[in-house]
Amino acid sequence: MVYFILKRMIQSVFVMLAVAFLAFSLFRFVGDPITQMTGVETSVADQERLREELGLNDPFVSQFIRFTGDMLQGDFGYSYRTRQPVADMITERVPATLELGVVALIISLLFGVPAGVYTALKPRGIWTQTILMTTLVGVSIPTFVIGIMLIFLFGVQLGWLPTFGRGGTVQIGNWESSFFTISGWRALLLPAITLGVYQLTLTMRLVRAEMMEVMRSDYIRFAMARGVPMTETSLQTCIGEHNGACDYDYWAAVWRCHCVFHRH
Amino acid sequence: MKILKLVFIGGAMSLTAFSASAETFRWASNTDPQTMDPHAVNSAPVLSFLNNIYEGLVRRNQGMSIEGSLAQSWEPLTNENGWRFNLREGVTFQDGSLFNSEDVMFSYERASSEAADVRSWFAPVKEVRVLDDYTIDFVTNAPNPLFPDSIANFMILDKGWAEANGAELPARDAENFATINVNGTGPFTVASRDPGIKTVLAPNAGWWGAAEHNITEAIFTPIGNAATGLAALLSGEIDFIQPIPLQDVAQVEGRNGFKVLEGEETRVIMFGFGHEHKELLYSSDVTGANPFQDVRVRQAAAHAIDIASIDRVLFRGKIDGASQLVPAGISGYSEANSTRSAYDPERAKALLTEAGYPNGFSFGLKCPNDRYINDEALCRAAASMFAAVGLNAELSTGPVRDYWPQLREDAFDMYLLGWSPGTFDMEHPIRFLLSTPNSEKKLGSWNFGGYSNQRVDALLPSIQQEIDPAKRQAMVDEVVAITQAEAAYIPLYTQPLIWAAKDNIDLTQRADNFFMLRWVTVN
Largest separation between any pair of C-alpha atoms in chain B:
87
A98 and A211 housed in the same domain: yes
Strands (E), B168-321: 188-194, 198-203, 217-222, 240-242, 258-273
Alpha carbon of A21: minimum distance to chain B alpha carbons (Å): 20
A164 falls in which pLDDT band (50, 70, 90)? confident
Average pLDDT over residues B194-221: 93
* Alpha-carbon gap, residue B71 to A85, rounded angstroms: 37
B8 falls in which pLDDT band (50, 70, 90)? very low
A23 and A68 housed in the same domain: yes
A212 and A174 housed in the same domain: yes
A132 and A249 housed in the same domain: yes
B370 falls in which pLDDT band (50, 70, 90)? confident
- DSSP assignment of B121-154: GGTTEEEEEEEETTEEEEEESS--TTHHHHTTT-
Cβ proximity of B184 and B53 under 8 Å? yes
Average pLDDT over residues A26-41: 76
A110 and A73 housed in the same domain: no
The amino acid present at B89, given as its one-letter code, is: E
* CA-CA-CA-CA dihedral for B334, B336, B338, B344, to nearest 10: -140
What are the beta bridge partners of residue B17?
Answer: none
What are the beta bridge partners of residue B501?
Answer: B240, B259
A140 and A155 housed in the same domain: yes
pLDDT at A246 over 50: no
Q: Does A39 touch chain B (CB under 8 A)?
A: yes
Q: Which of B9, B172, B193, B241 is the best substitution to test chain A (most A C-beta atoms within 10 A)?
A: B172
Q: Is the peptide bond before B243 cis (omega within 30 degrees of 0)?
A: yes
* pLDDT tens digit sequence for B323-353: 999 998 888 999 999 999 999 999 999 999 9
- Residues of chain B with pLDDT > 90, as a percent, come to 70
Mean of the per-residue pLDDT values for chain A? 80
pLDDT at B2 over 80: no
* Alpha-carbon gap, residue A53 to B412, rounded angstroms: 30
Q: Which of A84, A116, A142 is the last residue of a domain?
A: A84
Lowest-pLDDT choice from A167-171, B15-19, B80-84, B212-216: B15-19
Question: What confidence score (pLDDT) does residue B335 get?
Answer: 93
Q: Does A158 touch chain B (CB under 8 A)?
A: no
* Alpha-carbon gap, residue B148 to B303, rounded angstroms: 39
Average pLDDT over residues B172-182: 87
> How close are the terminal C-alpha atoms of chain B, in Å?
39
Question: What confidence score (pLDDT) does residue A259 get?
Answer: 60
Average pLDDT over residues B289-311: 96
Query: Minimal Cα distance from A47: which residue of B?
Result: B117
A140 and A48 housed in the same domain: no
What are the two backbone dihedrals, phi and then psi, of residue B50, each rounded to the nearest 5 degrees? Answer: -75, -20
Which residues in chain B are contacts of A81 at CB distance < 8 A? 32, 34, 196
Domain count, chain A: 2
Question: What confidence score (pLDDT) does residue B11 get?
Answer: 39
What are the beta bridge partners of residue B415?
Answer: B272, B366
Whether A84 sits inside 8 A of B175 (CB atoms) is: yes
Lowest-pLDDT choice from A14-18, B152-156, B294-298: A14-18
A138 and A249 housed in the same domain: yes
Lowest-pLDDT choice from B125-129, B257-261, B401-405, B461-465: B401-405
- DSSP assignment of B18-33: HHHGGGEEEEEESS--
Mean of the per-residue pLDDT values for chain B? 90
Q: Which of A58, A84, A110 is the last residue of a domain?
A: A84
A76 and A103 housed in the same domain: no
Cβ proximity of B431 and B421 under 8 Å? no
Question: What confidence score (pLDDT) does residue B16 get?
Answer: 39
Which residues in chain B are contacts of A80 at CB distance < 8 A? 34, 173
> How close are the terminal C-alpha atoms of chain A, in Å?
40
Whether A83 sits inside 8 A of B422 (CB atoms) is: no
Residue A139 sits in a domain whose CATH number is 1.10.3720
pLDDT at A199 over 80: yes
* Alpha-carbon gap, residue A186 to A243, rounded angstroms: 31
A227 and A103 housed in the same domain: yes
The amino acid present at A15, given as its one-letter code, is: V
Alpha carbon of B306: minimum distance to chain A alpha carbons (Å): 30
Whether A54 sits inside 8 A of B41 (CB atoms) is: no
Name B372's Cβ contacts closer than 8 Å, sequence gap at least 6. B267, B269, B378, B416, B418, B495
Domain region containing A138: 87-261
A28 and A69 housed in the same domain: yes
- DSSP assignment of A142-183: -HHHHHHHHIIIIIIIS--S-SSS--S-EEETTEEESSSSHH
Alpha carbon of B361: minimum distance to chain A alpha carbons (Å): 31
Question: What confidence score (pLDDT) does residue B227 get?
Answer: 85
Question: What confidence score (pLDDT) does residue B3 get?
Answer: 40
Question: What confidence score (pLDDT) does residue A200 get?
Answer: 86
pLDDT at B1 over 50: no
Kind and range of the H or E element at B362?
A: strand B361-368
* Alpha-carbon gap, residue B61 to A66, rounded angstroms: 49
Name B384's Cβ contacts closer than 8 Å, sequence gap at least 6. none
Query: Minimal Cα distance from B418: which residue of A?
Result: A40
A142 and A253 housed in the same domain: yes
Question: What confidence score (pLDDT) does residue B503 get?
Answer: 94
- Residues of chain A with pLDDT > 90, as a percent, come to 3
Q: Which of A84, A109, A132 is the last residue of a domain?
A: A84
* pLDDT tens digit sequence for A217-238: 777 777 777 776 665 555 555 5
Whether A46 sits inside 8 A of B173 (CB atoms) is: no
Q: Does A177 touch chain B (CB under 8 A)?
A: no
Question: What confidence score (pLDDT) does residue A253 get?
Answer: 61
